[in-house]
Each structure stands twice: as structure tokens, then as C-alpha cells.
Amino acid sequence: MARYAVTTWSNREGQEDLQAGLWTLEAGERLAAQPVPGSPDAVFWAERDPLDGTLLLLRNTEEDSALLRWDPQHEEVLAQVAEGAQGGCYLAVAPDGRRLVVTAPPGGWSLFDSGPAGPAGSVDPAPRVPRLLAQHAGSGSGPHPRQERSHPHCGIVTAAWDAVLMADLGTDEILSAPLDPAGGFGPVQVVHRTAPGSGPRHIVPGDGVLHILCELDSTLETVRVGEDGALTRIARTSTVPEEFVGETWAAHLSVSADGSRLYATNRGHDSIAIFDVDAQGVPHRREIVPSGGAWPWFCLLVEEQPGDAWLLVANNRSDAVTRFRVTGDGGLQLVDAVPVPSPACIVATAAATAG
């Protein structure tokens, strides 16, 4: 049976769900969830460390941020370091597991060494404590009322670029910083500007392209990566119906393992947009389906084997995780849901193919 950790977090006035801690989600014939006693509260984001299977947690009390290493098997914190900024919102681990990047607006973003791995065969290796390598403070603003200052939101470490790529929601910029073999990173440069006021929130790499989900105008922008590293916009599509006039904020983007499909969530419209990606990397919106709840903050695409895929959705304001079956053509069929207070992020606690 597949098992997941669900983080809980809320910024709703009067809500006490910041204290709801971690929950364990079991995806069997029916979804089942239960709280983990004594687990860290106010965890906004989580990622699985590919080196040892522990979970890296980003705790955000809105007053400060902390980076924790969590053992899901024994349900205990192994290490904790102060992130050094307020509002931690995103955490990404490099493909090799050796480095990770944390974003915490308005403080900027930080690059960490994930900590030395213990010797092979160790019975009780010392906990791996992340070590700060370098930090960058963002600057600038944008034309939208929510863009008064820099707001780095999503940073990823890419092997193809050998760099940190960062989406700054506050300045409509995609930034790049080359990794330094000795630790840290080189000069930070703007490599792409999204549409004014769009607010890039989430970056997902594809085959020779980058898909950028923009929060403030709920669009999906795709850029082609040239041989010289230059980025050229090749598509920009709305993730909500063109006739929609209400308030909505795009939240999360998941991609299939083969890069042929994208799933984007919208908070407010409370929906999931499904895109087919053609051979040139251009996404084409196929349909938009209800998220099965309110305020879909996050979605996790799980592809256990060919023809057996699921989408788990954290509907934050209806206090539930919903599960969709991915059909053979990439469509979504709602299967079931389970109550979880203010779910914010979902991560597999064992090796799995997830996007």
C-alpha cells in the first residue's frame, strides 16, 4: 500500500490548523489518513531525500522558517537548522540529493549542502544536518498590487543547467545562478521575463523547455531553452476558462514522467487544468475539471506503473485530500477523498515515480 506524508498549513484568520502537524496518508482501496503524534507543526513544504529516504521539511510560522530532517519510519526529527528568513515557501532537492534550495520571501533564497551521508552499512549513522552554502536577497517589484517587492517563490537545482533556477513572483523574472563546484553559486542573472503582472510561481523542466505556472494571472507560460541557454517564449495559455471573471490564483504544476501531460491547480476557481504537450514541448489545454474541493494548493502525480496513475490533490480550504484516477488518455476521474485539516503538501514516504 502506498504511503504519503501530508503537511498542514493555514493562513486563514482565526484558524488553528498551523498546529495540525503531519498526517500519514495511505492510498489503498480507499484513502485513509491519520495525524502523526508529536510531529512538527506549520510545515509548508516537504521533499523526499533521494539519498536516504528521509523527508526534508520546511516549517513556516510566518515569523520564522526552519529546515528539518524527518525520519518517516520512526516518526522523529533527526536534525533542525534555522533557515534564517521569514515565510519559507518552497524546498527543492537536487537530483543527486547533495544540494537543496529553499525560498523564503521576503528574505530571498538559500542554497544548502544536504549533509554528508554516513558510511555504507552504518548501523546507526549520525543524522545528516543541512549546511548553508550561500544566500541571495531578491530585489525589485512588479505592476500588480501584490508585487510591491521581490517574492522568490520556487527554486530548483537542475543538472542540465548545473544551476539554480528561481521564479520571482514579485518581479516577473526567472533567475539563474550557476553552481560553484567549491560550494555556493555564481552571479545571479535574469534569464527570462514573464508577462507583466503575471507572477511566476512554479517552474517545471521538460525536454528542452521550461513550463512556468504564473499565479497572479493564472497562465501557463512555456519557454524553449536554446543551445546557448537563451530562453524563448513558445506558448502562453490560460489555466481557467476565458469567460471566467472571478478571483483565482494558480498554485501548483505537475508533469507526467514522459513529459507529455501537465496538470495545473487553481485556488478560487477550484479546478485542475489538463494540458497535452506536443513533440515541440508546446502545451495544449484539453480540459478543466473541478478539484473535488476548495483551494487546491498542491497536487501530486503518482505513476506506479504504465497505465496505473493517480493525482492526489490537497484541497486546503475544504480540509480534504482528493484522489483522481488518471485515465489512459490523461483525463481525470474523481475516486474518493479523505478529511485532513488544511492540507498543503503531499510527499511519498517511499520511492515512487511522482511529478
Nearest to 115 by CA among 52, 176, 64, 203: 52
Structural domain includes residue 20: no
Structural domain includes residue 14: no
pLDDT the model gives residue 277:
98
Structural domain includes residue 16: no
pTM: 0.94
Range of the domain at 100: 40-115+128-238
Q: Which pLDDT tens digits describe the chain residue by residue (355 residues)?
A: 799 999 999 887 766 556 789 999 999 999 999 999 999 999 999 999 998 899 999 998 867 788 999 999 999 999 888 765 667 899 999 988 889 999 987 768 999 998 876 554 444 567 788 999 999 999 999 999 999 999 999 999 987 788 999 999 999 999 999 998 888 899 999 999 999 999 999 999 999 999 999 999 999 999 999 888 889 999 999 999 999 999 999 999 999 999 999 999 999 999 999 999 999 999 999 999 999 999 999 999 999 877 789 999 999 999 999 999 999 999 999 999 999 999 999 999 975 555 6
Structural domain includes residue 299: no
pLDDT the model gives residue 203:
97
The domain tally of the chain equals 1
Structural domain includes residue 110: yes
pLDDT the model gives residue 213:
99
Structural domain includes residue 86: yes
CATH number of the CATH domain containing 201: 2.130.10.10
How far is C-alpha 76 from the chain's CA centre?
23
How far is C-alpha 194 from the chain's CA centre?
19
Structural domain includes residue 248: no
pLDDT the model gives residue 201:
98
Structural domain includes residue 91: yes
pLDDT the model gives residue 124:
52
